[in-house]
Amino acid sequence: MIKNMTCINCPLGCQLKVEVDGEIKVSGNKCKRGEEYAKNEITNPLRIITTTVKVEGGDRPLLSVKTDKEIPKSKIFDIMKEINKVKINAPVEIGDIIIENVLGTGANIVATSKIQRAD
């Protein structure tokens, strides 16, 4: 099978052709980083999720959060479901852990903004 993808490691954005039968063969890359990228994208694509959770009693209704590590791309929507179940109480500091080890990925969901108690 041949897969087409775009390398994102520099503005050139090489169009990569990736053969995935047995050994992974990459062509179209102008440098080594393209090959590495394609291999990772085929074997284990990883992403950071950034989203929000609801806040109770805060100076604003939403807290922005992120995964503190990259998580498998295939788990994005499952993790979103977990995050959307949560409601937390103000105050919150940047870096506070909102969900530990989300779905056993080893990544925590952490706060990326500061929320004060509404007064």
Partner 1 sequence: MERDLVIIGGGPAGLAAAIEAKKNGIDDILILERDKRLGGILQQCIHNGFGLHVFKEQLTGPEYAQRFIDEVEKLGIEYKLESMVLHLGEDKKIIALNPKDGLFEIEAKAVVLAMGCRERTRGALNIPGSRPAGVFTAGAAQRFVNMEGYMVGKKVVILGSGDIGLIMARRMTLEGAEVKMVVELMPYSTGLKRNIVQCLEDFDIPLLFNHTVTKIHGKERVEGVTIAKVDDKRQPIEGTELFVECDTLLLSVGLIPENELTREAKIEINPVTNGAYVNELMETSIEGIFACGNVVHVHDLVDFVTQESFLAGYGAAKYIKGEKSNSANKFKTKGLNGIRYVVPNIIHPENVKDAVNFYMRVSDVYHNVNLIVKDGDKVLYKSRKNHVSPGEMENVKLSKDILQKVEGDELVFELEEVAI
Cα–chain center distance at 71: 6
Choosing from 40, 101, 113, 117, the residue that interacts with partner 1 (CB under 8 A) is 113
Q: Count Cβ atoms below 10 Å from residue 53 Cβ, excluding itself.
A: 19
Among positions 49-68, residues that touch partner 1 (CB under 8 A) are 49-52, 54, 60-62, 64, 66
Per CB under 8 A, the segment of 19-27, 70-78, 98-106 that binds partner 1 is 70-78
Residue 18, interface with ligand SF4 (CB under 6 A)?
Answer: no
Site string for ligand SF4, 32-51 (x = CB under 6 A): -xx-----------------
Residue 3, interface with partner 1 (CB under 8 A)?
Answer: no
Number of residues that bind partner 1 (CB under 8 A): 27
Half-sphere exposure of 62 (CA within 13 A, CB side): 8
Half-sphere exposure of 18 (CA within 13 A, CB side): 20
Nearest C-alpha neighbor of 31 from the set 54, 55, 7, 61? 7
| Amino acid, res. 52 | T
Residue 11, interface with partner 1 (CB under 8 A)?
Answer: yes
Cα distance from N-terminal residue to C-terminal residue, the chain: 60
Which residues sit at the interface with partner 1, rule CB under 8 A?
5-8, 11-13, 47-52, 54, 60-62, 64, 66, 73, 76-77, 80, 94, 112-114
